[in-house]
Amino acid sequence: MHYDIIIHHIADFRKEDEFQVDGMMNFLGLMDKKPMILAVDDMETNLMLLEEMLQEDFDVHCESSGKTALAWLKENHCDLVLLDYHMPEMDGMEVLEHMKESESLHNVPVIFLTADMTLESYGFEAGAVDFILKPFMPDVVRLRVKRILNYEYLQAHLADEVNKQTKLAESRRASLQRIFEQTVFALAQAIDAKDKYTHGHSRRVAEYARQIARVAGEAFEDQRFIYYMGLLHDVGKIGVSNAVINKPGELTPEEYDEIKAHTWIGSDILQSIEEFPQFSQGARSHHEHYDGTGYPDGLKGEEIPAPARIIAVADAYDAMTSKRSYRDAMPQDAVRAEIEKGRGTQFDPHFANIMLSMIDADERFLMRESPTMTQPRK
């Protein structure tokens, strides 16, 4: 039963005192049929008494020995057992032990019926949920039984509800993750569309950066973060004029300054994503050089955030293996030589080494802009 339906019923029950059990709500009215109680006692008079006390609210089945009680339990549904402690042949404790060993019966709650209070802790340890003292007081028996069934019902349905809500939360989380990824992809495409020579650049940089992070032993979640940072590293180009981005000739110092501004513009844009404050690091610092000669902050060595050092290698690699307005894509050995030359000056030596190992493993030179995409879009 769904939790809001339970709550709805609670509201109805509050109007009627008869549904109160020990000051808590009574959920028994929500059950499809009356709960089934098994009463087990070797004294016929006790069984008659129990049946009379309980039959108004419950279906009651009686057994006069432990053996017949277990046989009946194996064949029938039962919500609660009232179990006499002292019985000939098989006493209540032995019946309870058999029930606890049975897969189908170990969760059925058992209330002991006894005149001997000294058995209380022994019985609780064995798994009884309550004790009712003989001689029986009708109101006490009814209330105890109702209270225990109430707890059992609540526990079972709360567990169902928790499971249902957990699954719902997981599916919502996965859906949000997909929406986030698709939004980032759309944004990356918008960035690349500004530059007619960088079709697919952001996506390839993201892929190479993730691969470097994976080989470097970064955690799976961090690899994913670095991938997103790679997709968005040039987001600041949105704030740079198309004429400067697509200028075929050499840039004036002012135009070069405008291009350089894409780092902090991108950083400002991504800082507005409060959930992932570190997102902006890739955009701001991917043009920093390991030796401190890069921009915009002139950071050096490990002052440069690791994701930005990874993206810097991936970015340079993709720039060299893609066609540009002023040159064709470079051959693989020339690209390799450039990465090697920049190791320790432009690039973090560790991540440059990983890039070199990726180049060496790429015998068919597949890590590059697809030849079908080398023509600039009109």
115, two tokens: 């005149």
Q: Which of 26, 35, 34, 36 is nearest to 6 (CA)?
A: 26
Find the helix or strand (DSSP H, E) in which 334 lies: helix 332-342
Give me the least distance between CB of 323 and Fe ion, in Å please: 17
Burial string for 348-370 (b: 16+ CB within 10 Å, else e) reads: bebbbbbbbebbeeeeeeebbbe
Name the residue whose CB lies closest to Fe ion. Answer: 234
What CA–CA distance (Å, rounded) separates 47 from 52?
9
Instruction: Tell me whether residue 288 is exposed, middle or buried, using C-beta atoms within 10 angstroms of its C-beta: 0 to 12, 13 to 18, 19 or more.
Output: buried
Give me the least distance between CB of 363 and Fe ion, in Å please: 29
Give me the least distance between CB of 192 and Fe ion, in Å please: 12
Give me the least distance between CB of 164 and Fe ion, in Å please: 47
Nearer to Fe ion, 141 or 232 (CB): 232
Give me the least distance between CB of 170 and Fe ion, in Å please: 37
Nearer to Fe ion, 84 or 234 (CB): 234
Q: What is 77-143 written as a DSSP string?
A: --SEEEEES--SSS-HHHHHHHHHH-TTTTTS-EEEEES-GGGHHHHHHHT--EEEESSP-HHHHHH
Nearer to Fe ion, 157 or 324 (CB): 324
Nearer to Fe ion, 84 or 195 (CB): 195
39, two tokens: 């009463």
CB atoms within 10 A of CB 147: 17
8 Å CB contact between 355 and 348: no
Give me the least distance between CB of 324 and Fe ion, in Å please: 13
Nearer to Fe ion, 46 or 280 (CB): 280
Nearer to Fe ion, 153 or 290 (CB): 290
Q: Which of 289, 270, 277, 286 is nearest to 341 (CA)?
A: 289
Give me the least distance between CB of 356 and Fe ion, in Å please: 22
8 Å CB contact between 259 and 245: yes
Nearer to Fe ion, 26 or 285 (CB): 285
What CA–CA distance (Å, rounded) separates 223 from 226?
5
Give me the least distance between CB of 308 and Fe ion, in Å please: 11
Contacts to Fe ion by CB under 5 A? 234
Nearer to Fe ion, 234 or 369 (CB): 234
